[in-house]
Chains A and B, each alone.
Chain A
Amino acid sequence: MRLFKKYLKEILLVVGALVFLSPVYIMLVNSFKSRSELYENVLALPETLTFEHYIRAMDRMNFGLAFFNSLVITIISVVIIVILSSMTAWMLVRKDNTLSRIIFMTFIATMLIPFQTIMMPLIQFMDQIMSTTGLPMLNTRSGLIFMHVGFNASLAVFLYHGFIKSIPVSLEESAEIDGANKFTVFWKIIFPILKPITVTVIILNVIQIWNDYLLPSLVLTDQSLRTIPLATFYFFGEFTIQWNQAMAGLVLTIIPVVIFYVFAQKHIIRGIGEGAVK
């Protein structure tokens, strides 16, 4: 009886989890159906496996290019965030003077600002920079990367700052006595120790930047620069909705996320927990 109850609980939990993900099932099965099949029953399995809708959706979304744009923008942004935030946080911890404290507090305080409060003046300011200096701030991948770095700097500095405080200074001091400069000390000794928090910073930023819609939608206007969320938005806006094709398009956008999740699941769940609690 006890055993039976135990198994019943197991089955209920698995069934519950599957029901929770039923929207994913609905999306998946309908991406293979013909129009009439879809309107007959949205819940049934497809009669045949046709990838026709996927090919059409890929073409209409220009998926290959969007994937490439998302990948390049996410990777470069995250690499810059990791490098610059860890360096900044280390210096702010080790040179614990008034200036460092003010800078750190400024980073933290701005985490309170919602994106909607900055978006319009940001675009105006970028436009001004572009017209006075000629720097390509708007409608370029590099400009978007620059802004992603700026927006995500605070959290990364905050996380690194907390971690670095727990590292004893003695390690660095002996290296400095041996004549190593700050740059060498940081990259040879400190950065390797930061690995656990670096993983967290990478995870949080990859998720945030990969899925971001609003900032790229304001910065990028060229069709050829669209990231996956932008391509999805225009895909839904430009054509009258054919649900089977739309579902195929959505499945395409989710595949990279699922692959990422499968490979980094443990880190993701730990990283999210750490990012939230702090």
Chain B
Amino acid sequence: MSKHRNKLWYLVFVLPLFIIFATVVLIPFVIGIFYSFFEWDGFSANPMVYVGLDNYIELIDDGRFVNSAWLTLEFTILSLVLVNVLGLGFALLVTSAFKSANFARTMFFMPNLIGGLILGYIWQFIFSDGFRIIGDLTGNEEVFRNWLTDRDLAMYALVIVFSWQMAGYMMIIYIAGIQSIPGEVMEAAEIDGANYWQRLKNIVMPLLMPALTISLFLTLSFSFKIYDVNLSLTSGGPANSTELLAMHIYNEIFGYNNYGYGQAKAIIFFIVIAAITLVQVYMTKKREVEM
């Protein structure tokens, strides 16, 4: 009786959430793999044609897809550097026992709370008409012109906006890392006559490695998946020069109505993201063991 009742309680506690989760995540994921072997335009009246691995073979030679992958890589590398330099810089400043540290921390983190879509729109104004007007005003039209109509500058604009959004987030992780460094170690070094740069280089940085690993991988996976800022800032333009992978997949499926082909791209996208994340988990765990 009691055993029976325990099983019932188990179901009462676990089943509701699991059913919702399975309906929304698990089943669609499996159906998604299935769709990727078909050719289909998304209209239920039209037939789904089984094409085996053709979708996957086709995307290797798909210029737009390959180009989008390269752009995503370029974006990711640039963001990786800028986000982490800013995040670490902010964290070091804020933890230097300033009176205004709390205020600064609050301000640096603020953009992260505003949704990516809205951030993109704010900056769309700044990088287009805002910059143009400043250019007219100051005469510095080399820098201050419409960035969003220039192929290279549009990409840099995207990197800047994304970094503006993420730097505060990474700052929080770096702050936690810095605060976990024992005060005695720093004091001892100071008494021994180590200056700020020596302490930074020989004590802070090595002890910050775990925080750095986490931040790097988080930035990596966030920037790989960027969509909202991409949509509101550049919509992939000019001339597809900022159409990053997440947007490319969306456009392939819902824009060009290539449901099966787009889904194959989405599966590849998943494999890449999963690989990045698993490497991160592996490295973080390994370091924990060593420490």
A interface list, Cβ under 8 A from B: 9-10, 13-14, 16-18, 20-21, 23-24, 26-27, 30, 38-43, 84-85, 87-88, 90-92, 95, 103, 106-107, 110, 112-122, 124-125, 129, 146-147, 149-151, 153-154, 157, 181-183, 186, 207, 210-214, 229, 232-233, 236, 243, 246-247, 250, 253-254, 257, 260-261, 265, 268-269, 272-273, 276-277
Contact = CB atoms under 8 A, between A and B. Distances in A.
Interface string B125-156: 11001100110010000000000000000000
Interface in B1-37: 6, 9-10, 12-14, 16-18, 20-21, 23-29, 31-32, 35
Counting chain B residues whose Cβ lies within 8 A of the other chain, the interface size class is 35 or more
Given A114-B273, A250-B121, A14 B103 contact: yes
B169 A261 contact: no
Main secondary structure of the interface of B (DSSP, over half): helix
Contacts of A246: 121, 125
26 contacts: A17-B100, A20-B107, A20-B108, A23-B164, A42-B130, A87-B17, A88-B18, A91-B13, A103-B14, A107-B21, A110-B25, A114-B269, A120-B254, A120-B266, A122-B24, A125-B23, A150-B25, A153-B20, A154-B25, A183-B12, A212-B115, A232-B118, A233-B117, A247-B125, A272-B112, A276-B169
Contacts of B113: 207, 257, 260-261, 268
Interface stretch (B60-68, B184-192, B200-208, B245-253): B245-253
B13 A269 contact: no
Main secondary structure of the interface of A (DSSP, over half): helix
A243 B129 contact: yes
A186 B12 CA distance: 12
Contact of B125 (A26, A124, A157): A26
Nearest to B173: A276
Shortest Cβ-Cβ A-B pairs, 7 listed:
A150-B24, A211-B115, A91-B13, A17-B107, A84-B17, A122-B28, A121-B32
Interface string B89-124: 000011010111101111111111111111001110
A13 B125 CA distance: 27
B159 interface: no
B227 interface: yes
Contact of A151 (B25, B93, B114, B259): B25
B176 A277 contact: yes
A157 B104 CA distance: 33
Given A95-B10, A276-B173, A121 B107 contact: no
A30 to B, nearest CB: 7
Contacts of B105: 269
B267 interface: yes
B115 A210 contact: yes
Contacts of B231: 213, 233
Contact of B98 (A10, A113, A183, A277): A10
A211 B129 CA distance: 26
Contact of B172 (A91, A214, A272): A272
A150 B98 CA distance: 43
B125 A121 contact: no
Contacts of B254: 120
A90 B29 CA distance: 26
Contact of A14 (B17, B27, B100, B123): B100
A116 B246 contact: yes
Interface of B: 6, 9-10, 12-14, 16-18, 20-21, 23-29, 31-32, 35, 93-94, 96, 98-101, 103-118, 121-123, 125-126, 129-130, 133-134, 137, 164, 169, 172-173, 175-176, 214, 218, 225, 227-228, 231-232, 246, 249-250, 253-254, 259, 262-263, 266-267, 269-270, 273-274, 277-278
A151 B85 CA distance: 32
A118 B28 contact: yes
A109 B171 CA distance: 27
Given A121-B31, A276-B172, 8 more contacts: A20-B164, A21-B107, A103-B14, A120-B253, A125-B28, A157-B17, A232-B121, A261-B113
Contacts of B278: 112
B266 A117 contact: yes
B110 A261 contact: yes
Contact of B225 (A24, A114, A183): A114
B31 A39 contact: no
B21 A153 contact: yes
Nearest to B227: A214
A211 B122 CA distance: 15
B169 A272 contact: yes
A121 B35 contact: yes
Contacts of A118: 25, 28-29, 32
A120 B130 CA distance: 37
B273 A112 contact: yes
Contact of A27 (B23, B125, B134, B263): B125
A113 B103 contact: no
B17 A88 contact: yes
